[in-house]
Structure formats: structure tokens, C-alpha cells
Amino acid sequence: MKCLVLGSAAGGGFPQWNCACRGCTRARSGDPAARPRTQVSVAATHDGAHWLLIGASPDLRQQILQTPALFPSEGARHSPIASVVLLSADVDGIAGLLVLREQQALRIYAPAPILAILAQNQIFAALDSRIVERIELAPNTPIEAVPGLTLTLLPMPGKIPLYQEDRKSAVAEPGATYAARLDGAGRCAIIAPACAEYSDIVQQSLAPAHVLMFDGTLFTDDEMIASNVGQKTGRRMGHMPVSGADGSLAKLSAHAGRCIYLHINNTNPILLDDSLERAEVLAAGVDVAYDGMEIDV
Ligand SMILES: [Zn+2]
């Protein structure tokens, strides 16, 4: 199995259009140690010809243009992208579907609550249902998403999208966010861009991963407040921090397989190649994803 990181940043990307935090300012200046990153998406394949997208990033058009493996190669209209799985209904997880209009056949896999949000938003009718199939996927139920790759949705502790918070409670509820487990030829990759808590159940469901790509949104829980760019903690946004006794780094350093942070917010100093926080993560044996990163699982 091969995975390509199309985008490694959290919502807003790096730099974010309206952000002048330390990291965004360095990225905007062309600092080679502050490499720009697009909003999170991963592509996976077993046969090299059929690809599954994990997440439909708002930056998907740019990501495809930067990835020759996803270029059309058969006839006048073609795409190696055969399927997309949606892990949350956040803007940075679904807006890229609109990039995939243009009468191209593909399959969208998602759990019922996310399909319901697509159905409520008429703009997604731009994807003609006669050629773009929407397939409901129950949690913990494997399905062959592309030839040779089995996809399973793993429920994660998380939060409903920000734009729905006026309608429902803002606390974690079932069906809000998922990880994608991919199995092929005895190898397992799990992509978990959002996880509010590394509970025992989460630990058990992630344990089989030879490669685990995990929520690296914030280094410290109050990072956005300390950076003067927001009032919310990471946990309030459904993301556990990297650092601290109950942070993700302590958990991932005990994981048997390879671990890679992705979905990294622009305020997180692990984005900076020369930061102490990056060094701390690498010293614990965990990698930091970048756009274009190739992973042989
Ligand atoms: Zn910023």
C-alpha cells in the first residue's frame, strides 16, 4: 500500500489567509524552515492505478495539480481518483467535493450523519448522483474501496462542525468524526485527523496500524489563545494537544508502528523545522507530515 500526503495542515492551511502569527508570517516570507502546507487530505492506493482520497480538502484542485499520480492518463476524460471517504463534515473535510464535479464517475463513502449533511446542502447536487455514487458506510464495517484496499471507518471522540454548533450541542457526539483504517496485503494504515481523547477504546482501535497518521492540530491546548488568534482551546475544538502528560505524543511514542502527525494548525510550532517542539516530537520517534510526503505502508 502506498499513501501520499496531499495536504498536512489543519483548516485554514499554512499560512492561513488572514493570520499573522509567528509561523504564518515566516511561511509567507518564503522561509525554507516554514514550508507552506495545504489543508488535510491523504491519497492511498494498492495497485497504483486506483486511488482513494481520505478527506476532500478545499485545496484539492491544487493538490491534484501537484501530484502526477493523480493526473488523467486514459482517454480524453479520466481520473485515477476512484473513491473518496469523508471522515467529518467540517469545511476542510468536504468542501473539496465541489472540485470533483465535471461529470466524472466516482464513489463517495461516508457514514449516515455526514451523508445527511451533504443532502441538506444543495450545492453538493453539483455532483450528479447518476454518476457520483454516495455510499453509506456503517462504522467498523470493512468495504473494498479501491482494488486491493479495504476501508473501515473507526469512530473517534470528536465534535460536530463549527457551522452546526447553533443547532446542536457542541460537545462530542457519536457520528461526528472518524478515522479511516486501510488494510491491504496484510499491512494496515490508519488516518485519524481528529481525535479529542486517546481513550482505551481509541488505543485499541489504532493499535493494528503499521502506519498511524494522527491529529497534530495543536502543540498545547491553549495555543490559539496564547497566540492571540482565538478564544478556544484545542479540546473545545475536538482536538487533543500534542504535549503534556495526557497529550498525544506520550501515547504515540508507545505505539508499535510508525506515527506521523498531520492536520497541523498554523499556530503549532512543530510546523517549523527549527523549533524545539519539532525536535521534541522527532526525539520521541514521531514524524511530522508535509505536503507531497510518500509513505510505503
Ligand atoms: Zn497563523
How far apart are the C-alpha atoms of 51 and 80, rounded to whole Å?
6
CA 266 / ligand 1 centre spacing (Å)? 5
Q: Residue range 17-27: average pLDDT?
A: 96
Distance, CA of 169 to CA of 173 (rounded, Å)? 8
Residue 165 binned pLDDT confidence (cut-offs 50, 70, 90): low
Q: What are residue 74's phi and psi, to 5 degrees?
A: -130, 105
Q: How confident is the model at residue 149 (pLDDT cuts 50, 70, 90)?
A: very high
* Cell matching residue 37: 502546507
State whether the Cα torsion 72-77-81-82 is positive or negative. negative
In DSSP notation, 237-252 reads: GT---SSSTTSHHHHH
Ligand 1: centre distance to CA 150 (Å): 36
Distance from residue 28's CA to the centre of ligand 1 (Å): 10
Taking the CB of residue 62, how many other CB atoms lie within 10 A of it? 17
> At residue 22, does pLDDT exceed 70?
yes
- Residues 115-142 have pLDDT tens digits of 999 999 999 999 998 999 999 999 999 9
* Residue that the C-alpha cell 461529470 belongs to: 103
Query: Once rounded to an integer, what is the mean pLDDT over residues 47-73?
Result: 97
pTM: 0.94
| 162-166, 211-215, 229-233, range with the lowest pLDDT | 162-166
User: Cα of 239 to ligand 1 centre, how many Å?
Assistant: 17
Instruction: Give me ligand 1 centre to Cα 16, in Å.
Output: 6
The amino acid at residue 249 is L
Do 185 and 44 form a contact (C-beta atoms < 8 A)?
no
Residue 284: name the closest of 203, 217, 216, 222 by CA. Answer: 216
- pLDDT tens per residue across span 250-274: 999 999 999 999 999 999 999 999 9
Asked if residue 1 has pLDDT above 70, the reply is yes
Pairing between β-strand 106-110 and β-strand 187-192 as defined by DSSP bridges: unpaired
